[in-house]
Amino acid sequence: QVQLVESGGGSVQPGGSLRLSCAASGSIFSVNDMGWYRQAPGKQRELVAVITIGGSTNYADSAKGRFTISRDNAKNTVYLQMNSLKPEDTAVYYCNAKISKGFFQRLTDYWGQGTQVTVSS
């Protein structure tokens, strides 16, 4: 059994900051890419940022310059530091990780339960 547990969401005023965390636990052999996605009401889930096991990162255009993704491989944890938040950043944020449960087992996508981020004055 593998679980992704997120924390750090909440409400903040425009221009504020939040830091999201997501820890993977359970029967894990290796964790490959980790990332953050978000889904606003009435919209499709979209990529926010992704980080490889080696630390390479990729960001959505909307996140560039404001958000920073990082990870602690020893803790199987990924973080998303969000600065200069805007009302359009309001969404449920989901953690994603590609995880192998054994040496010869393929990578499988796992998702967190989601954490609400609300940016409003």
Sheet of 2-7: strands edge to edge? Answer: 2-7, 18-26, 77-82, 67-72
Give burial (CB, 10 Å; 0-12/13-18/19+) of 90.
Answer: middle
Q: 3-state class of 73 per DSSP?
A: helix
Tokens of 98: 């590609």
Residue 74, phi then psi, degrees to nearest 5: -65, -30
Please give the mean pLDDT across all residues of the chain.
96
Stretch 4-30: mean pLDDT:
96
Q: pLDDT tens-digit profile of 68-120? A: 999 999 999 999 999 999 999 999 999 999 999 988 889 999 999 999 999 99
The set of residues, in sequence order, having a beta carbon less than 8 Å from that of 52 and lying 6+ positions away, is 32, 33
10: which residues sit within 8 A by CB, 6+ positions away?
Answer: 18, 116, 117, 118
* DSSP code of residue 15: T
